[in-house]
Amino acid sequence: MNIRQQIVQSNIEKTAIHLEIEEDAAFTRLAHSLVTDQSLHSFEERELVDGGQDKQIDVISIFDENDEAYVYILQVKNTQSFSSNILVQLRNGLQWVFNKSRADISALSNTNLKDQILSYRALQSSIGPSNIHVKVAYITNAPRKVISNECIEEEKSITDEYDNEVFASFKFEYWSAEEIVDRINALEKKNKKISADIKMRYDANAPSLIKYQTQGLTGIVCSVPATEISRIVNEDVNGYVFDLNIRKYLGNRGSVNPEILSTCSNAETSYLFWFLNNGITIVCDKVDPVTDPDDPHVKLTNMQIVNGCQTASSLARAGTNGELQKDARVIVRIYQTEDIDLVDRIVLTTNNQNKISGRNLRSNDLVQVDIERGFEFYNLYYERKPRQYDSIEGIQKASVISNDIAATSYLAVVLKRCSDARSRKYKVWSEFYDKIFTGDIVQPFVLSSLIYSNVKDSLKHESYVKDSNEKRRYIAKNASFHISRIASFLFRGSDSWIDTNKMDSEISKIQDGMVNFDDFTRKSFDILLNVVSDEKDLNAELKSSHLDSKISKELNIKFR
């Protein structure tokens, strides 16, 4: 092994210990986290399709963002090579995902693969392929140099077939030890201070610089050569200048970044860049404008680009390619403050140029920070941001609860909106946000999360997973929120979420292992089985709010 392969192996071993799983499974989880930009703890078992008849596909992850979706299809091998034969089989697997008839798919013996393909097909029917971004990745712990010509030929066959403007985007990627370590390094960087002098346009006889001060705050708006932004980003090879930005550079995904590149690189349009681009927002500890007519610039101490990562990175890319035009200018807003709360508010209110996930956008909200502290009262870790606790040793897997899980558990169990928690969880961070995150007591979040986590664990039992009855198996796999809502009622004896002392007692019982969730899950499963109609499409019914009402009615009839 070379040094990068050793680094990957070390991370595999740490992940295996942290998640208490075998190393091959740990590599799959690690790879999934790095490629999808998700936490290790956000992985859904149903996404794992590895097994018999898996068509050389290990994971299919689908992230639905209302009118847009991202689909990741991963082949992960804990080996030190790339196989062209595996790519041939993977290409066949993509045929099953995108082209095979539903009759053929229904005959697959690999139920996880079948379910994920059908979930994708339902999504495609709903929003159309032109709104779906597909990424296929072949990941091993091999040096990149071992990728053979045969592999490259198979890769070309895949991209030729699917990168044809049917999807919003389609991308095939090799992830070798080099790419894995590069990604790990990018994620592990912490609070690196970047200071810089940025040349600006200044004319004492024209209003070319705006400086505003109030109540100890300083703001500056100025025009800067695009080459200056390109220089700063390219000199910062580790990307520390984007530490406070809420997401990474998106490359050519979507329509915005290709347009940025086109405008700043074209000699006929580059002078328009100042007018067509929203600009860049920088926060810093100190800003000092130097209005020397021979050398006008701003001196920045500990600067961070908090909005405009896409613009800055696109300019850097154009600069690296030698295409950035000298007459391209960009508006820069600079805020001098060491007030962390104000920085968070600036991040929230200025990030609106490219589509971002609501979860990331809300991660620094005061209510999210409060809930994080509230979970600490129960020796639990509330994960506000993806991978927040992944690199911290000594934290047990079961103690980490992502805010995604906490929010959807609350939506299903406390608010009794199981169908929304299962099928419309993207609304948690928009339409449902204020209903869920009221800033009130923390116990309902903790308790509903623990109930959901325990029910999910119980549903992993072979009696559910390998049930020969298709209806029972499908419900066990896809109705965990509905079952958790029922289990909560059976365990607690009510739908009331007011008595904090009672909830503290219930939390304590769960954490002390005094609650038999296997029993509650079995009873809840049987109740749901009776409520779900035999005549209706199961996928459609589990999305229906009418089923939520039927569950509540059934519980009130049986137990009141």
The DSSP-derived string for 257-269 is: HHHHHHHHH-TTT
- The pLDDT, as a whole number, for residue 351 is 58
Residue 518 token pair: 């296997």
Q: What is the pLDDT of residues 398-432, one digit of tens each?
A: 899 999 999 999 999 999 999 999 988 888 888 89
Same domain, 92 and 181: yes
CA gap 524, 454 in Å, rounded: 13
Same domain, 378 and 494: yes
Sheet harboring 132-140: ordered strands across? 59-64, 69-77, 132-140, 169-175
Q: Which of 172, 188, 204 is the last residue of a domain?
A: 188
Closest CA to 475 of 383, 388, 551: 551
Same domain, 26 and 160: yes
CA gap 78, 74 in Å, rounded: 13
Share of the chain above pLDDT 90, in %: 50
Residue 515 token pair: 């609650």
Looking up tokens 């800055």 gives 312
- The pLDDT, as a whole number, for residue 257 is 66
Decide: 27 and 76 in contact? Cβ < 8 Å.
yes
Q: Which range, of 323-337, 390-404, 478-492, averages the lowest pLDDT? A: 390-404
Q: Which of 302, 331, 356 is the last residue of a domain?
A: 356
Q: Tell me the one-letter amino acid at 267.
A: A
Q: Find the domain containing 252 and state its range.
A: 196-356
Spatial CB neighbours of 95, under 8 Å, sequence gap ≥ 6: none
Beta bridge partners, 74, equal: 59, 137
Length of the chain counted residue by residue: 560
Structural domain total, the chain: 3
- The pLDDT, as a whole number, for residue 350 is 63
- The pLDDT, as a whole number, for residue 197 is 85
- The pLDDT, as a whole number, for residue 117 is 93
Same domain, 325 and 388: no
- Chain centroid, CA 419 distance in Å: 21
Q: What is the pLDDT of residues 12-39, one digit of tens each?
A: 998 998 888 999 999 999 999 999 888 8
Same domain, 349 and 407: no
Task: Tell whether the model's pLDDT for residue 246 goes beyond 60.
Answer: no
Q: Which DSSP string corresponds to 91-156? A: HHHHHHHHTS-HHHHHT-S-HHHHHHHHHHHHHHHHH-GGGEEEEEEEEESS-GGG--HHHHHHHH
Among 161-170, 343-352, 369-378, 443-452, the range of highest mean pLDDT: 443-452
Q: Long-range contacts made by residues 455-461, C-beta under 8 angstroms, separation at least 24?
A: 455/480, 455/483, 455/484, 455/487, 455/517, 455/520, 455/521, 455/524, 456/480, 456/484, 457/517, 458/517, 458/518, 458/520, 458/521, 458/522, 459/483, 459/521, 459/525, 460/45, 461/518
Same domain, 203 and 348: yes
Q: Which of 158, 188, 218 is the last residue of a domain?
A: 188
Phi–psi pair at 281, nearest 5 degrees: -115, 130
Decide: 323 and 265 in contact? Cβ < 8 Å.
yes
Same domain, 64 and 143: yes
- The SS3 of residue 250 is coil
Is the whole-model pTM more than 0.85?
Answer: no
Q: Which range, of 86-100, 108-122, 383-397, 436-450, averages the lowest pLDDT? A: 383-397
Q: Where are the beta strands (DSSP E) in 190-303?
A: 196-199, 209-214, 217-225, 280-284, 286-290, 297-301
Share of the chain above pLDDT 70, in %: 91
Same domain, 386 and 263: no
Same domain, 132 and 241: no
Residue 458 token pair: 């119980």
C-beta atoms surrounding 412 within 10 Å:
27
Task: Tell whether the model's pLDDT for residue 188 goes beyond 70.
Answer: no
For 435-443, what is the mean pLDDT? 90
Same domain, 379 and 417: yes
Same domain, 384 and 457: yes
Decide: 487 and 524 in contact? Cβ < 8 Å.
yes
Instruction: Count Cα atoms within 13 angstroms, Cβ side, for 519.
Output: 5
- The SS3 of residue 83 is coil
Same domain, 22 and 159: yes
- The pLDDT, as a whole number, for residue 202 is 77
Task: Tell whether the model's pLDDT for residue 253 goes beyond 90.
Answer: no
Task: Tell whether the model's pLDDT for residue 86 goes beyond 80.
Answer: yes
